[in-house]
């Protein structure tokens, strides 16, 4: 039985220096160009939009707070000590409320149309506003609920709420 393991060879080309070992199987492959080293600068000044880091023992354990407004709207919030925040609107209007033969698939259609335009902004303006806030938006529908969600930097929360209003 013949040994099928690739053979390793070295050569002394280029002033007596040894090249790295080459597997005989890779001889048929084209050479891979070497990448230049990454030179990154160290950030020495804090960024104004990102809060200073604190050790975990100096922070309170996050708690979830739920508030019901007089109009029936429920607001749930939780501090998570991140420079990002998430704002979402959840409505109990999933596909189970569709009437067969009348409005089949309307939940999925609404999901696809989410964030395409509002009464104030067209799609391009809406995308630009969210992008300017350093954020992204998502939409998800399920059988039970519908979710509109935006992740943005903390200082963009009020503007995001206005956009999603």
Q: How far is CA 88 from the centre of its chain?
A: 15
Q: Is 111 a catalytic residue?
A: yes
To which residue do tokens 């999933």 refer? 94
Please identify which of the residues 79, 111, 144, 158 carries the catalytic annotation. 111
Contacts 24+ apart (CB under 8 A), 149-154: 149/86, 149/87, 149/88, 149/89, 150/86, 150/87, 150/88, 151/84, 151/85, 151/86, 152/84, 152/85, 152/87, 153/49, 153/50, 153/83, 153/84, 153/85, 154/49, 154/51, 154/83, 154/84, 154/85
Residue 67 contacts by C-beta under 8 Å, 6 or more apart in sequence?
74, 75, 76, 77
Active site residues: 111
């Amino acid at each position: 039985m013949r040994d099928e393991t690739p053979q390793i060879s070295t050569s002394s080309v280029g002033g007596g220096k040894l090249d790295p070992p080459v597997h005989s199987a890779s001889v048929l492959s084209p050479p891979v160009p070497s990448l230049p080293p990454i030179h990154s600068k160290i950030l020495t000044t804090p960024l104004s939009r990102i809060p200073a880091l604190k050790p975990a023992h100096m922070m309170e354990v996050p708690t979830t707070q739920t508030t019901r407004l007089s109009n029936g709207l429920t607001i749930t919030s939780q501090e998570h000590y991140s420079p990002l925040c998430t704002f979402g609107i959840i409505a109990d209007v999933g596909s189970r409320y569709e009437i067969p033969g009348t409005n089949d698939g309307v939940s999925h259609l609404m999901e696809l149309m989410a964030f395409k335009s509002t009464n104030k902004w067209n799609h391009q303006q809406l995308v630009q506003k969210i992008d300017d806030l350093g954020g992204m938006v998502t939409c998800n529908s399920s059988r039970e609920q519908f979710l509109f969600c935006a992740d943005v930097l903390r200082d963009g929360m009020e503007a995001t709420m206005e956009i999603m209003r």
